[in-house]
Amino acid sequence: MPQDDLFSLVGRNALVTGGGGRIGGAIAERLAIQGASSVVLVDINPAALAAVAGRVKDLGGTAYTVEGDVSTPEGVREAVAKALEFVDQIDILINNAGRGSHTFPEDLSYEEWSEIFQLNLTGYFLMAQAVGRQMIEKAIRGAIVMTSSTCGAVAMGRGNFAYSISKAGVNHLTKELALEWGHFGIRVNAIEPCQVDAPSMDDLLARDDPSGTALRERVLGGIPLGRLAQPEEMAGPVAFLVSDAAAMVTGTILPVDGGNLACNAAASIRR
Ligand SMILES: NC(=O)c1ccc[n+]([C@@H]2O[C@H](COP(=O)([O-])OP(=O)(O)OC[C@H]3O[C@@H](n4cnc5c(N)ncnc54)[C@H](O)[C@@H]3O)[C@@H](O)[C@H]2O)c1
């Protein structure tokens, strides 16, 4: 590898939450390909963790797995402590574990709202705080990337209420942390994926939209590139944001959405 490769992650350890999932797994593989010394995968699903760790190792990378729940203070504390038994320091944090919610605001229970916020926003803060503290203590010029969503920027409707608001919170968490920790040399950015191709997305898109137009048609009609994203397509932008190529990039919320957020309600993507 050339010595001046700005995209190289050689010598850096990364921690990826939701590392057993589609996007988290793809990010972990990409970080390993870019030369990261090790990738610590944190997830509640042990089988998913083992599968992704196997793929990282097949690529010649080093993966460690931590089974843990990143939605609680104790879970985050334990996960970071276990990660630091495997690696001396964490240079890169990818806050990515998250889940959706499809309940209209008038039907949403306090419990569901709380669960979504606990994982999608409070968990991101707690993990950033725990990993950020060790970056500050060890004078690590670290990089943090949050997986947000296009619905963190603009409202989605269709009951994505709690999810969407939690992702808007992730965007502001990103900006506040970038401001607070910039002088430590810690950079904090986020990506906003559009809908990612997956069996669960197929089920969702097969439903009819209340407008009468098939949901798939509506979603693709708002994506100038005309297709859903692949999980791997989230990984390149993340690898850029945590690399030295992005040394002057912090507080940025990067849409990775095939152009979705560039469209307004009157947009036509076909001429
Ligand atoms: N898939 C999409 O279309 C899409 C679009 C925009 C944003 N996102 C965001 O991308 C991120 C990853 O989503 P994905 O599509 O890869 O989903 P996924 O379900 O494949 O992966 C999520 C992973 O998080 C893990 N997880 C869930 N709760 C956890 C907890 N309490 N502690 C630790 N791990 C936990 C799950 O076991 C799973 O492996 C999420 O934050 C999601 O909101 C996804």
Long-range pairs for 71-76 at CB < 8 Å and ≥24 separation? 71/97, 71/115, 71/118, 71/119, 71/122, 71/123, 72/118, 72/123, 72/126, 73/126, 76/123, 76/126, 76/127, 76/130
CA atoms within 13 A on the CB side of 268: 2
Q: How confident is the model at residue 258 (pLDDT cuts 50, 70, 90)?
A: very high
Classify residue 153: in a domain, yes or no. Answer: yes
Pocket of ligand 1 (CB under 6 A): 17-18, 20-24, 43-45, 48, 69-71, 96-99, 119, 147, 149, 193, 195-196, 198, 201
Q: Indicate left, alpha or beta for 266 from its phi (over 0: left) and psi (-120 to 50: alpha).
A: alpha
Q: Which residues contact 219 (CB under 8 A, 6 or more apart)?
A: 195, 205, 228
Same-domain pairing of 157 and 224? no
Give the nearest ligand 1 atom to 25 CA. Answer: 16
Same-domain pairing of 216 and 82? no
Same-domain pairing of 133 and 203? no
Quote the distance between the C-alpha of residue 35 and its chain's center: 20
Range of the domain at 116: 13-194+232-259
Classify residue 75: in a domain, yes or no. Answer: yes
Is the model's pTM score more than 0.95? Answer: yes
How many domains does the chain contain in total?
2
Same-domain pairing of 86 and 45? yes
Q: How confident is the model at residue 136 (pLDDT cuts 50, 70, 90)?
A: very high
- As a whole number of angstroms, the distance between CA 18 and CA 124 comes to 11
Average confidence (pLDDT) over 72-81:
98
**Which among 64, 110, 124, 163 is annotated as catalytic?**
163
Same-domain pairing of 161 and 50? yes
Chain segment 30-72, per-residue pLDDT in tens: 999 999 999 999 999 999 999 999 999 999 999 999 999 999 9
Centre of ligand 1 to C-alpha 24, Å, is 7
Same-domain pairing of 86 and 111? yes
Centre of ligand 1 to C-alpha 1, Å, is 32
